[in-house]
Amino acid sequence: MVILGAEFEKSAPSVSSAPPPDLPEVCFAGRSNVGKSSALNVLTNRRQLARVSKTPGRTRLLNFFRVELADRPGPNRRTAALRLCDLPGYGHAEAPKRDRETWGAMVTAYLRERESLRAVVMLVDAQVGPQPKDHEMLEFLAAGRLPLVVAATKSDRLARTRLSSALDRVARELGLPREAVLAFSAKTAVGRDELWNVLCAASGILGRNDTGRLLSPVEEER
């Protein structure tokens, strides 16, 4: 995957103030300090595209980024654009209750109402494993029937012999198929190309069809 351009578009306090839904969109959800901003930066090859803070809970708005892609270098390449959204982190207990409620309402509205949203990347710390708030988010996403892939961040902190079992644990504890969980590291870029293939497949761009890792909504019983 070739990144032709990536730019911050805007921060929005509500769905109504978000950019027009004119591009396929993928959002990134996860606990505070799980590495969402770092993941966005390594995906787009931009060090400072998304601000990385050492203070958990700093992201309080819906942050939108426009990315221009090509399937390969050269004159015969195919190009496309999509939008990425960095959601406020959940599970930060030190935030005031009123702020947590406001952020929760904003994220809920976004996930339910954003018509251009094609998939959710849920980030879970590979070393720590799923936490109660991760389970809550998963239940909410399942109810909304949104396609999902889980990126196990900070995978570089685990030895190769331990990584496989850690990914198995994440899948098992979340009750997901193993193929819906991929290793990701913002430090070593492990999983970068794999995640891009999934995002492009979910967005229907660049001819990608790698939906094997994408947990799609189950058809409603008739």
Q: What DSSP string runs through 132-188?
A: HHHHHHHHHHHHHT--EEEEEE-GGGS-HHHHHHHHHHHHHHHT--GGGEEE--TTT
For residue 57, the model assigns a pLDDT of: 45
Mean pLDDT of 56-76: 84
What pLDDT, in 10s, does the model give residues 77-128?
A: 999 999 999 998 887 555 555 555 667 788 889 999 999 999 999 999 999 9
Considering the domain boundaries, does residue 117 fall inside one?
Answer: yes
Share of the chain above pLDDT 70, in %: 86
Considering the domain boundaries, does residue 218 fall inside one?
Answer: no
For residue 221, the model assigns a pLDDT of: 35
State the residue range of the domain holding 142.
2-203
pTM of the model: 0.89
**CB atoms near residue 140 (< 10 Å):** 17
How far apart, in Å, are the Cα atoms of 18 and each of 10, 71, 171?
Answer: 8, 28, 32
Considering the domain boundaries, does residue 222 fall inside one?
Answer: no
How many structural domains does the chain have? 1
CATH number, position 90: 3.40.50.300
Considering the domain boundaries, does residue 221 fall inside one?
Answer: no
Cα-Cα-Cα-Cα dihedral sign, residues 73, 75, 78, 80: positive
Considering the domain boundaries, does residue 14 fall inside one?
Answer: yes
Considering the domain boundaries, does residue 22 fall inside one?
Answer: yes
What pLDDT, in 10s, does the model give residues 142-163?
A: 877 788 999 999 999 999 889 9
Considering the domain boundaries, does residue 220 fall inside one?
Answer: no
More confident residue, 29 or 58: 29
Considering the domain boundaries, does residue 194 fall inside one?
Answer: yes
Parallel, antiparallel or unpaired: strands 117-125 and 79-86: unpaired
Q: CA-based diameter of the chain, in Å?
A: 53
